[in-house]
Amino acid sequence: MDAKWTVREILNWTRGYFKNAGIVQPRLEAETLLAHTLGFDRLHLYLNPDKPLTAEERTRFRKIIKQRRAGIPLQYLIGEVSFFGLRFRVSKEVLIPRPETEQLLEQALRLAPRNREIACLDLGTGSGVIAICLARFLPRATVTAADLSTEALGLARENAELNGVLDRITFLESDWFEHISNAFDLIVSNPPYIEEKELEKVPAEVRQYEPRIALDGGRGGIERIETLTGGLRGHMHPGGVLLLEIGNGQGGRVVELLNRAGLVEARAEMDLAGHERFVIARCP
């Protein structure tokens, strides 16, 4: 990559480089990383396929594609992700938001009351995607975002400011309900739910680069969820709704935990792939 390379030539070469490394969407990732390197959007690449890159641009691009081929997630390399139509910054201190969590949010927005003011809680907020979307799309909601990680909370605040809802969200450093005193009408959480012994089987770029604390669900994958459920009843208004993201096959056990915690109408629901992915329950 030392001669005079155009946008088209570099994209074609990088596509093959990524494909040989087993990257699932080699052309898309090549375009995304080149656009990021050049400071443009992807459309600019299509409009300027014969633009030659400078030596400095080629050096920067060479570095970033080597990092991607080594397994560093694309989202960490470009420092951002799109979620529910909004832009969010991400870093290695937080889990990369997944499409399944967009489905969790869709469920939350569908079940949230719209005819009155409500209090919402995002437990384990990470980058803040759930809390921020609740604030953006529920104009009568007040939102609390809690996380054990100081670094995650700092990033979530940045994202709230980026999306214009900083004044709508209270950020709390808390291990689940430890420092939370209020009660809520809607609680949403994407807790760690990968079984401890299964962590070594997840893709290397997840296992090696994403924060283990956000992945490791402990024994049976529901140890962290069990801790969370212990504080639910004292932090939910009557009629309040809980939504949890869970791992496939955990629905029955999590429903049992919620029943023991005093919640009612607990049920597991599938994601778009047909896997058990969400549990919904209500406070009597």
CA distance 27 to 29: 6
Are residues 233 and 187 part of one domain?
Answer: yes
Radius of gyration of the chain (CA): 21
Enter the tokens of residue 168: 């709508």
Residues in the chain: 284
Residues 48 and 173 in one domain: no
d(CA 90, CA 127): 6
Residues 49 and 11 in one domain: yes
Containing structural domain, residue 61:
7-70
Backbone angles phi, psi at 36, to 5 degrees: -60, -45
Place of tokens 């680069």: 209
Please indicate, yes or no, if residue 84 is contained in any of the structural domains. Answer: no
pLDDT of residue 43: 95
Under DSSP, is residue 67 helix (H, G, I), strand (E, B) or coil? helix
C-alpha dist (Å) from residue 72 to 38, 64, 132, 207: 20, 9, 26, 11
Tokens of 62: 């060479």
21 lies in the same domain as 107: no
Q: 43 and 123 in one domain?
A: no
- SS3 for 276? strand
**How far is residue 16's CA from residue 259's CA, in Å, rounded to a whole number?**
52
Which amino acid does the sequence have at 70? Answer: A
- If asked whether residues 140 and 176 sit together in one domain, one would say yes
Residues 268, 277: Cα–Cα separation, whole Å = 7
In eight-state DSSP terms, residue 54 is P
* Domain contains 2: no
- Per the structure, the count of domains in the chain is 2
> Does residue 277 share a domain with residue 167?
yes
Q: What are the pLDDT tens digits along the chain (284 aa)? A: 456 799 999 999 999 999 999 999 999 999 999 999 999 999 999 999 999 999 999 999 999 999 999 999 999 999 999 999 999 999 999 999 999 999 999 999 999 999 999 999 999 999 999 999 999 999 999 999 999 999 999 999 999 999 999 999 999 999 999 999 999 999 999 999 999 889 999 999 999 999 999 999 999 999 999 999 999 999 999 999 999 999 999 999 999 999 999 999 999 999 999 999 999 999 99
Same domain, 45 and 181: no
pLDDT of 3: 61
C-alpha to C-alpha distance for 214 and 264, rounded to whole angstroms: 27
The answer to whether residue 76 sits within a structural domain is no
What is the distance between the alpha carbons of residues 185 and 138, in angstroms, rounded to a whole number? 13
Asked, for residue 144, whether it belongs to a domain, the answer is yes
Smallest CA-to-CA distance from 258 within 281, 284, 224 is with: 281
Give the predicted TM-score (pTM) of the model: 0.94
Question: Are 244 and 151 contained in the same domain?
Answer: yes
Q: Is residue 85 part of a domain?
A: no
**Cα–Cα dist 190/217, whole Å:** 11
Single out the residue of 19, 17, 12 nearest to residue 50, CA to CA: 12
Does 14 fall in a domain?
yes
**Residue 196 confidence (pLDDT):** 87
Residue 87 located in a structural domain: no
Residue 197: the pLDDT is 87
Instruction: Identify whether 185 is part of a domain.
Output: yes
Output the domain CATH number for residue 227: 3.40.50.150
